[in-house]
Amino acid sequence: MRAVVQRVSRAEVSVAGRCVGRISHGLLVYLGIAEGDTDADLRWMVDKILGLRIFADPQGQMNRALADVGGQVLSISQFTLMGDARKGRRPSFVAAMRPEHAKPMFERFVAQMAQGGAGDACGAFGAHMHVDAVNDGPVTLLLDSRKLF
């Protein structure tokens, strides 16, 4: 499981011109689910994101987590994070989990984020989406549950 995590001052996602998810302050998370990912990968990712201390404390140091600042998460499913572009010009997506298995896992991710106090804002799985965000910092992190990077 891979994630691109961006600290944002606001973010929203639209499908066919209609807003389906919006947050004001927090994290925009693009989540890629790989074939073979398990609930252990899911739990690791949720715990890691909720615990990231990437928000400023009164001294301006990145020392606060999402809950400390009352932030929210906007989750976007993005199978292209599993793309392999090492050969040729066309990425291969064979490492991505099949949609019929990835969708329930993504829904569990969103539910666990909500249980952790981050809200349940998300995009529409499998849809063509437009994401509008204002990066804060910018702060962008790459996470991998298998710790490949």
Question: Of 6, 55, 72, 79, which residue is the catalytic one?
Answer: 79
- Active-site residue, 80 included: yes
- Where b means 16+ CB within 10 Å and e means fewer, 29-60 reads bbbbbbeebeeebbebbbeebbebebbbeeee
Question: Of 55, 78, 106, 112, which residue is the catalytic one?
Answer: 78
The residues, ordered by sequence, that sit 6+ positions from 126 with a Cβ below 8 Å of its Cβ are: 77, 99, 103
91 vs 145: CA distance, rounded Å: 21
- Active-site residue, 79 included: yes
Question: Of 38, 61, 80, 140, which residue is the catalytic one?
Answer: 80
> Which residues are part of the catalytic machinery?
78-80
